[in-house]
Amino acid sequence: MKPPVSCDTEPGGFLLDNLELEFENVTKRFDDTKIVVRNLSFSVKRGEFFSILGPSGCGKTTCLRMISGLERPTSGAIRMSGRLVNDVHPHKRNVHTVFQKYALFPHLDVFENVAFGLRMKKRPEKELRSRVERMLEMVRLQDYAKRSIQQLSGGEQQ
């Protein structure tokens, strides 16, 4: 049995001291329809620092979850130090990832999460609706108002 691979995190990305990382044509689908990551290929050599950047909903958090083993790719290969790790459980990867946890209420939809502070201040309903709609438009989430928090990507939750 091969020993677990090792990776240390740095703020904002990964520092690969002890391994190399390769994504080869990695695709991740949810619910057999929503493609979050499509044919992504990249490699990071030992000792290199890299960051994953992109717009909200593009699959950054999903990529981090696949690196750590919390998600499995639908297709393609993820290799660490040349070893295929698609089916290696997180506790056997020795990859350390800490995700931010946002102060969101999982039992409330997006609109109600944004409205929460205004409701606590007992703002009039008309003002509350207007302000929440304006805030959601500002961050381009107006179409997500009735979604549950669990349906948002990591970037959308931010």
Q: How far is CA 37 from CA 19, 76, 110, in A?
A: 23, 11, 24
Choose among 45, 46, 38: nearest CA to 76.
Answer: 38
Model-wide pTM > 0.85:
no
pLDDT tens digit sequence for 14-30: 445 567 899 999 999 99
Sequence ranges of the chain with CATH classification 3.40.50.300: 8-92
pLDDT tens digit sequence for 48-90: 777 787 777 788 889 999 999 999 999 999 999 888 999 999 8
CATH number for 8-92 (one of 1.10.3210.10, 3.40.50.2300, 3.40.50.300, 3.40.30.10): it is 3.40.50.300
Asked if 74 and 29 count as a contact pair (C-beta separation under 8 A), the reply is yes
One-letter amino acid identity for 23? F
Kindly give the residue spans of alpha helices, DSSP state H, lying in the chain.
Answer: 60-68, 110-120, 125-138, 154-157
